[in-house]
């Protein structure tokens, strides 16, 4: 690792400045680099990468062209960011903090941490060795089973236990286990059999040369060394070509390959306990997270008083019309085999390979489960994986719980979800303002429809106030009894409501951290994040959120926006009334808003900038919000969004440059199309740039991408895209 310290005088000569930039570019060739110091560029706005002077523009372009990242985001002298921390690996820098002045200096002190070692879970895990699996013998064994006789007289739980026992028995018998040890010097992913053979020959040739020391043995060693290098190059090319070809459907392969080469922080860092002590042991970390995740649950009163409980009569369901053997087999054939198993231990690869022979018993189990409403216990337990969001890794609230549940249970969840979606589509149950997890609706439709109304009012000379609302722990706090009343109110069949109620009842979960589990904890509220049914159930729960609201409401899952044109204090009072109604709705249905994250944005020159109250607190005023991943400011400009998109795309390009050794256009181009372009095209119909500087910033992303291809490094950009298969790929995001 290269660590550099720099001071650039404010009035540096252009030749000296060019030499400094050249030295930084040369240092990048030596490996991982961290450069810090006072660079004296006060006219760079690091929030959007905009430079006001020519010198500053050259510096920013040098950083972007070489995939360098600047970590300091707070002023270090007065209101300017002069002291910078720059690296070619953003994962090296963590916990950066701008403090007070040091001594007599007029600059603030900048502290940060550099991760020098790779942090990995050390241990041995036993996994199924599918390379030596005998699926033909498992199929033959399962075909001989008379499932009707085995299941006779048993309830759903008993049928499921027999099926799981037999499947696990044959899996253990015909699929051997392999022990995988995770350690610091992990074997490279491209290490195949031919490379091992050549490495063995090289070692034997080297030992022979050390013993004999003759010119002949040295020549043999050089030949073996050359053959070994050739085999390694070929193995890398073959693997990278395979990764590129499959990157669109399975981008996980690319990131696994890149992450295997670089230092990477473990998923869960050292945690801060309730007593204020730092905990590093995996079991204790799992218990801390499990305690925090369960602390946000909503408790309901024992009876149903205090909220509407009008439940219309509903008929039982003809289960044969909802689930067929052919549909189950089709769903099994489309199971994602690269996912992990749930707590029941049944691997998706096993289900996929045996789809033809296990569709029949699963059909019998599913039919009985739907008819009786009984849900096996294995489908109601979950291993929770904590995913880091943002902020400090030592704070438990900065992790999101994602439940890993039974894959078989998810199959039936998918059947129920699709049938419920068909039902609510026929009866127009879901409000048109809800865009989340619905067919033919998306983040893009939400943004375009909502801000079309905002911009139309602004064009007419009117002022608009938009209130951005955020539910606190929305998916984890849905009260189960209140949810079931809403499901019955929309007219869902009685046995389906019973099935969902039993699916939510007596759920338990445990947190897993690096292979270590916490104790089991009851789940008393919420819909499981990571389940198939969860998003749909949440949509149905908040479906009546807009009832009685006169202002415009737009919802994507739990992200809610409230909008109204404001021409007088009466209009502001009407918007305040609607906001109070939403607050009352949340209180009645045991939900709560995170007031600190709820903001109001005032649009229009003649806006009266009224204040609004939520739960007794004045909402903060925001000049810019990140709405469904898109930055929106009070002028509806897209400069910040263009910079954000270009930054994300550059980070992926940096991964491609550092993680992929080949510069073959047949590898770089598919990776660019599947991994970089989606960042440039996400909801672009809403934020498409119109200013030349924003268009150029996005165009520079493709300039850097085409520069990665071998043979195009020194060509002018105007000529570069017309060489080879990249011809016609130069595009600008213009509406």
CA distance 28 to 710: 19
Note the pTM of the prediction, 2 decimals.
0.83
Residue 735: predicted pLDDT: 32
Over residues 196-211, the mean pLDDT reads 94
Q: How many CB atoms lie within 10 A of CB 100?
A: 6
Compute the CA torsion angle 318, 321, 325, 327 (nearest 10 deg). Answer: -140
CA distance 680 to 2: 32
| Whether residues 14 and 93 fall in one domain | yes
Residue 602: predicted pLDDT: 96
- Among 114, 135, 161, which residue terminates a domain? 114
Q: What is the CATH number of the domain that holds 49?
A: 3.60.10.10
Q: Which residue has the tokens 């994986």?
A: 385
464 and 706 in contact (C-beta within 8 Å)? Answer: no
- Crossing angle of helices 215-246/252-259, nearest 10°? 150
CA distances from 683 to 448, 487, 631 (A): 9, 32, 11
Residue 676: predicted pLDDT: 93
Residue 304 covered by a domain:
no
Residue 505 covered by a domain:
no
- Is the four-CA dihedral 491, 496, 502, 504 of positive or negative sign? negative
Over residues 554-582, the mean pLDDT reads 94
- Among 612, 633, 654, which residue terminates a domain? 633
Residue 579 covered by a domain:
yes
706 and 283 in contact (C-beta within 8 Å)? Answer: no
Mean pLDDT of the chain: 87
At 100-112, the pLDDT tens digits run 887 888 899 999 8
**Residue 149 pairs with which residues in a beta bridge?**
none
Over residues 164-180, the mean pLDDT reads 91
At 259-306, the pLDDT tens digits run 887 665 556 878 888 888 888 888 899 999 999 999 888 888 765 554
| Whether residues 685 and 602 fall in one domain | no
Tell me how many domains the chain contains.
Answer: 4
Report which of residues 166 and 32 the model is more confident about: 166
- Among 203, 226, 261, which residue terminates a domain? 261
Residue 589 covered by a domain:
yes
Residue 518 covered by a domain:
no
Of 699, 697, 696, 650, nearest in space to 676 by CA = 650
| Whether residues 51 and 80 fall in one domain | yes
| Whether residues 554 and 616 fall in one domain | yes
Q: Which residue has the tokens 């921390």?
A: 85
Q: Where are the beta strands (DSSP E) in 524-629?
A: 552-556, 559-566, 599-603, 613-614, 617-618, 620-621, 624-627
| Whether residues 25 and 84 fall in one domain | yes
396 and 270 in contact (C-beta within 8 Å)? Answer: no
Residue 420 covered by a domain:
no
At 473-510, the pLDDT tens digits run 899 999 999 999 999 998 888 888 999 999 999 999 99
Phi, psi angles (nearest 5°) of residue 395: -100, 120
At 226-259, the pLDDT tens digits run 999 999 999 999 999 999 999 998 898 998 888 8
Residue 122: predicted pLDDT: 53
| Whether residues 218 and 246 fall in one domain | yes
Of 723, 678, 683, nearest in space to 701 by CA = 678
189 and 256 in contact (C-beta within 8 Å)? Answer: yes
Residue 731 covered by a domain:
no
Residue 214 covered by a domain:
yes
439 and 426 in contact (C-beta within 8 Å)? Answer: no
**pLDDT band, very low/low/confident/very high, at 589 (cuts 50, 70, 90):** very high
Q: What is the CATH number of the domain that holds 575?
A: 3.30.70
CA distance 289 to 658: 34
Structural domain boundaries, residue 694: 638-707
| Whether residues 106 and 77 fall in one domain | yes
Residue 1: predicted pLDDT: 81
Percent of the chain scoring above 90 in pLDDT: 55
CA distance 142 to 417: 29
| Whether residues 89 and 206 fall in one domain | no
| Whether residues 578 and 647 fall in one domain | no
**Residue 562 pairs with which residues in a beta bridge?**
467, 553
176 and 134 in contact (C-beta within 8 Å)? Answer: no
| Whether residues 457 and 566 fall in one domain | yes
| Whether residues 468 and 547 fall in one domain | yes
Of 356, 700, 402, nearest in space to 529 by CA = 402
| Whether residues 16 and 104 fall in one domain | yes
At 631-655, the pLDDT tens digits run 999 999 988 899 899 989 998 998 8
Half-sphere exposure of 565 (CA within 13 A, CB side): 11
């Amino acid at each position: 690792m290269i660590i550099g310290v720099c001071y650039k005088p404010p009035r540096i000569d252009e030749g000296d400045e060019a030499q400094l930039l050249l030295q930084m570019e040369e240092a990048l060739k030596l490996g991982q680099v961290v450069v810090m110091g006072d660079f004296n560029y006060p006219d760079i706005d690091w929030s959007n990468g905009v430079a006001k002077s020519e010198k500053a523009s050259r510096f920013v372009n040098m950083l972007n062209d070489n995939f360098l990242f600047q970590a300091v985001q707070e002023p270090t002298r007065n209101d300017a960011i002069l002291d910078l921390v720059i690296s070619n690996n953003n994962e090296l820098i963590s916990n950066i903090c701008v403090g007070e002045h040091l001594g007599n200096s007029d600059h603030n002190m900048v502290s940060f941490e550099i991760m020098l070692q790779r942090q990995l879970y050390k241990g041995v895990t036993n996994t199924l060795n599918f390379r030596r699996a005998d699926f033909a013998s498992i199929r033959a064994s399962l075909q001989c089973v008379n499932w009707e006789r085995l299941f006779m007289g048993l309830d759903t739980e008993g049928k499921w236990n027999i099926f799981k026992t037999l499947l696990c028995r044959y899996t253990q018998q015909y699929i051997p286990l392999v022990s995988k040890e995770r350690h610091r010097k992990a074997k490279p992913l491209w290490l195949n059999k031919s490379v091992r053979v050549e490495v063995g020959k090289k070692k034997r040739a080297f030992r022979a040369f050390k013993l004999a020391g003759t010119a002949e043995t040295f020549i043999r060693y050089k030949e073996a060394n050359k053959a070994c290098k050739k085999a390694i190059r070929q193995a890398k090319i073959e693997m990278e070509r395979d990764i590129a070809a499959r990157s669109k459907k399975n981008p996980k392969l690319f990131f696994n390959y890149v992450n295997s080469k670089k230092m990477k922080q473990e998923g869960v860092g050292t945690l801060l306990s309730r007593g204020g002590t730092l905990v590093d042991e995996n079991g204790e970390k799992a218990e801390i997270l499990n305690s925090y995740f369960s602390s946000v649950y909503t408790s309901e009163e024992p009876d149903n008083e205090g909220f509407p409980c009008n439940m219309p009569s509903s008929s039982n369901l003809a289960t044969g019309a909802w689930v067929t053997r052919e549909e189950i087999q089709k769903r099994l054939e489309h199971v994602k085999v690269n996912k992990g198993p749930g707590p029941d231990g049944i691997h998706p690869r096993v289900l996929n390979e045996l789809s033809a022979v296990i569709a029949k018993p699963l059909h019998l189990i599913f039919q009985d489960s739907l008819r009786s409403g009984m849900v096996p216990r294995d489908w109601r337990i979950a291993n929770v994986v904590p995913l880091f969001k943002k902020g400090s890794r030592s704070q438990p609230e900065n992790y999101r719980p994602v439940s890993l549940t039974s894959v078989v249970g998810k199959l039936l969840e998918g059947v129920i979800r699709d049938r419920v979606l068909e039902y609510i589509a026929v009866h127009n149950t879901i409000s048109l303002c809800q865009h989340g997890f619905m067919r033919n609706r998306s983040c893009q439709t939400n943004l375009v429809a909502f801000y079309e109304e905002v911009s139309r009012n602004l064009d007419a000379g009117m002022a608009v106030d938009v209130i951005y609302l955020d539910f606190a722990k929305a998916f984890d706090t849905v009260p189960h009894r209140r949810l079931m009343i809403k499901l019955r109110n929309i007219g869902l069949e009685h046995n389906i409501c019973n099935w969902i109620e039993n699916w939510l009842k007596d759920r338990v979960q445990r947190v897993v951290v690096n292979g270590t589990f916490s104790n089991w904890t009851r789940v008393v509220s919420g819909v499981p994040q990571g389940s198939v049914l969860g998003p749909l159930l949440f949509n149905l729960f908040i479906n009546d959120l807009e009832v009685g609201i006169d202002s415009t409401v737009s919802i994507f899952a739990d992200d809610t926006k409230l909008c109204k044109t404001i021409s007088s204090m009466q209009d502001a009072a009407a918007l305040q009334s609607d906001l109070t109604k939403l607050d009352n709705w949340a209180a009645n249905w045991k939900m709560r808003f995170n007031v600190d994250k709820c903001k109001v944005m005032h649009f229009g020159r003649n806006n009266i900038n009224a204040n609004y109250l939520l739960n007794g607190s004045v909402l903060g005023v925001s000049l810019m919000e990140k709405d469904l991943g898109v930055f929106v400011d009070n002028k509806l400009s897209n400069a910040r969004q263009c910079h954000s998109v270009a930054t994300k795309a550059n980070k992926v390009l940096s991964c491609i440059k550092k993680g992929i050794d080949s510069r073959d256009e047949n590898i770089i181009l598919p990776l660019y199309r599947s991994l970089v372009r989606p960042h440039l095209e996400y909801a672009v119909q809403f934020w498409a740039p119109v200013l030349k500087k924003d268009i150029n910033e996005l165009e520079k992303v493709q300039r850097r991408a085409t520069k990665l291809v071998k043979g195009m490094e020194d060509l002018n950009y105007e000529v570069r895209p017309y060489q080879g298969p990249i011809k016609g790929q130069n595009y600008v995001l213009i509406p």
